[in-house]
Amino acid sequence: MTSTGAPATTGPWGDRVDAVDWDTVRDELDSYGCALTGPLLSAEEAADIAALYPDVSRFRCTVDMARHRFGEGQYRYFAEPFPAAVVALKQALYPRLLPIARDWWSRLGRGTPWPDTLDEWLDMCHAAGQTRSTPILLRYGPGDWNALHRDLYGELVFPLQVVVNLNQPGVDHTGGEFLVYEQRPRAQSRATATLIPHGHGLVFTTRDRPVRSARGWSAAPVRHGVSVIRSGRRFTLGLVFHDAT
C-alpha cells in the first residue's frame, strides 16, 4: 500500500489499483504527463470487454473517426449498465487520482471543485447538464490511428484519465503507441510515446498540467492520440472521470 489516496474496496480491480506504486505514478505524471500503472485487468477480463464491441445494445453511440476527421478507426461509448470492471476501476482509481488533481490545480492557483467521491463528482456533472456516459471502447485495425485531441465534453473536467490496452502488443498488434503531446511554455513542444502492455493502464493528462517556469508554475496544454496500427487489431478501454453534455 502506498501513500496517495484511500484504499480501494472494489474487489480484485480495487486490489490491483491498491498494488500500483502511486508515488512513482505521481512522479512520472509530474515529469512526463503520463504514467503506467501496472496490470488493471486480467487477460480474460480484457478479452471479455473487447468481445462486447459487436453488441451495439451495450453502447449509447458509435463514432467513426474518419467521418469526423478524428483519425481512422471507430469507438463506442458504453451505455448503462456498465461492465463490472469499468465501474469498479473508476471507483477505485478516482480516490487515488484525486490528490494529484488537487495538487496540480493548487499549483496553478485554480479552484479544486472535485469532492471526495466519484459519485458526488458525477452528481455535480449531471447537475451542470453533463449527463452522458463517457467510458469508451475503441477499436483499431491496420492503418487506423487517433488524432491528437482532448476529452473535455463540458465545463466540468477532471484533470486525469486512464486508458487500458485490451490486447498484447507485438502479438495482437504492432504499432499503436499511445502519444502524449505537450506544449511547453516558451519552449519547443514535447511528445511522449508509450506502448501499453496487455491489461495495463496508463494515467495521462486530460487538458493541461503544471510545469515549473521562471515565474513559478505555468499550465502546459496537453493533447493525446494513438500512432498508426501497422498490423493486427487493438482494442482499448478509456476511463474518463467526467460525464459529457
Backbone angles phi, psi at 190, to 5 degrees: -130, 135
Tens digit of each residue's pLDDT (9 = 90 or more) over 95-145: 999 999 999 999 999 999 999 999 999 999 999 999 999 999 999 999 999
pTM, two decimals, is 0.93
- Averaged pLDDT for residues 28-32: 96
Tens digit of each residue's pLDDT (9 = 90 or more) over 141-180: 999 999 999 999 999 999 999 999 999 999 999 999 999 9
Measured from the Cβ of residue 135, the count of other Cβ atoms closer than 10 Å reads 23
- Averaged pLDDT for residues 2-7: 38
- Averaged pLDDT for residues 16-20: 97
Under the banding of pLDDT at 50, 70 and 90, the label for residue 5 is very low
Length of the chain: 245
Under the banding of pLDDT at 50, 70 and 90, the label for residue 186 is confident
Output the pLDDT for position 9.
54
Q: Is the pLDDT of residue 230 over 90?
A: yes
Please, what is the average pLDDT of the chain? 94
- CA distances 188 to 108, 185, 207, 212, Å, are 21, 8, 18, 15
CA distance 106 to 124: 20
Output the pLDDT for position 2.
34
Under the banding of pLDDT at 50, 70 and 90, the label for residue 6 is very low
Tens digit of each residue's pLDDT (9 = 90 or more) over 200-209: 999 999 999 9
Tens digit of each residue's pLDDT (9 = 90 or more) over 187-224: 788 999 999 999 999 999 999 999 988 788 999 999 99
